[in-house]
Amino acid sequence: MNDILKKMKRRGRRIVALTCYDYLSARLLDDAGVDVILVGDSLGMVVFGRDSTMAVSIDEIVHHVRAVKAGVRNALLWADLPLCSLKKGVKKAVEEARQLIKAGAVAVKVEGGVARVPLVKAMAAANIPAVGHIGLTPQFADRLGGYRLQGKTSQEALKIVADARALEKAGVTAVVLEVVPEQLACYLTTRLSIPTIGIGAGKGCDGQIMVQHDMLGIYWYVAGKKAPKFLKEYAHLADVISSAVANYSGQVRRGTYPGRKQTYRLKRSDWLVVETALESQCQKRRPGGAVSRRKQNR
Ligand code: KIV
């Protein structure tokens, strides 16, 4: 299934990828023809409101993979292996990667380069397709000097190239390049046989990926943080959502929602029948006309 992407690379057809965490968005993305849908560990930030992706658990990703899978018809569904799984060692990490496949993913993305080779090989042996993720790997941002451009110096660039080559040799089906200079991304894209998917890596990659809530203009606005340079908002849904909610709140408070159009009403004659039945039931219950509980239960 992941061979589709290699074919796209060979044919020069750019790969469109987006993150997703729920059924309805999955339906929309899939219907719009997105090639790859990733249940990323960015869900720690955009769904759970945490400061980083580091504490995301395998159960959280599995839960969202199931939701997204329900809405995917044609796209390839990838899922992130969270940092918590990587920390448990190769054997356990493979078991947890398998949980993602069972939940509906067709490939599992792992952050890190040369250090991930034993895991990628073990995943291949267990028939679990792996996707690499190098450059700025958010799970290890603290070791990389924060969320900053990677591969600026020859030494850093050499390491990224070595990471990419090692992952390719170990059998990854594609590699995500995050926040690296455009020239380095082009260098890798023309030298690797596997597709490169860029995020903050310029337009020379075989495809692009973005966090859905970033490109829809929700996350950075709500988080009140400065968006990264590579981000482009294709909509500003934060405003659309805020004004719809303000409108609804105003109408509820003024009593103009629900209006006649949104209300179920019986014909006057039908309501009279129902009302009479309700009233006579009430009268039986009143002291004097009350029905005993034993009688009611019969
Ligand atoms: O978790 C995520 O959303 C990702 C993408 C940004 C590539 O890893």
Spatial distance between the Cα atoms of 34 and 18, rounded to a whole number of angstroms: 7
- Whether the pLDDT of residue 294 is over 70: the answer is no
Q: Tell me the residue range of the domain where 292 lies.
A: 265-298
pLDDT at 199: 98
Residue 289 shares a structural domain with residue 172: no
- pLDDT grade, residue 118 (50/70/90)? very high
The alpha-carbon radius of gyration of the chain (Å, integer) is 27
| Neighbour count for residue 209 (Cβ, 10 Å) | 26
- pLDDT grade, residue 292 (50/70/90)? very low
Q: How open is the CA angle 27-29-31, to the nearest 5 degrees?
A: 65
Domain count for the chain, please give it.
2
Q: pLDDT digits over 149-182, tens only?
A: 999 999 999 999 999 999 999 999 999 999 999 9
- Whether the pLDDT of residue 269 is over 70: the answer is yes
Spatial distance between the Cα atoms of 8 and 298, rounded to a whole number of angstroms: 72
Residue 160 shares a structural domain with residue 80: yes
pLDDT at 1: 60
Across the range 91-116, mean pLDDT stands at: 98
Residue 152 shares a structural domain with residue 274: no
Query: Separation of 19 CA from ligand 1 center, angstroms?
Result: 7
Residue with tokens 């029948």: 273
Residue 256, domain member (yes or no): no
- Across the chain, what does the average pLDDT equal? 95
Give the predicted TM-score (pTM) of the model: 0.93
Query: Which are the catalytic amino acids?
Result: 178
Residue with tokens 């009140």: 224
Residue nearest to atom 4 of ligand 1 (CA): 40
- Whether the pLDDT of residue 25 is over 90: the answer is yes
Residue 198 shares a structural domain with residue 286: no
Handedness of CA 267, 273, 279, 282 (dihedral sign): negative
Residue 63 shares a structural domain with residue 161: yes
Q: Among 233, 254, 274, where does a domain finish?
A: 233
Residue 244, domain member (yes or no): no
Residue 176 shares a structural domain with residue 284: no
Query: Separation of 230 CA from ligand 1 center, angstroms?
Result: 14
Across the range 204-216, mean pLDDT stands at: 98
> 179: which residues sit within 8 A by CB, 6+ positions away?
135, 136, 147, 148, 149, 150, 199, 200, 201, 228, 230
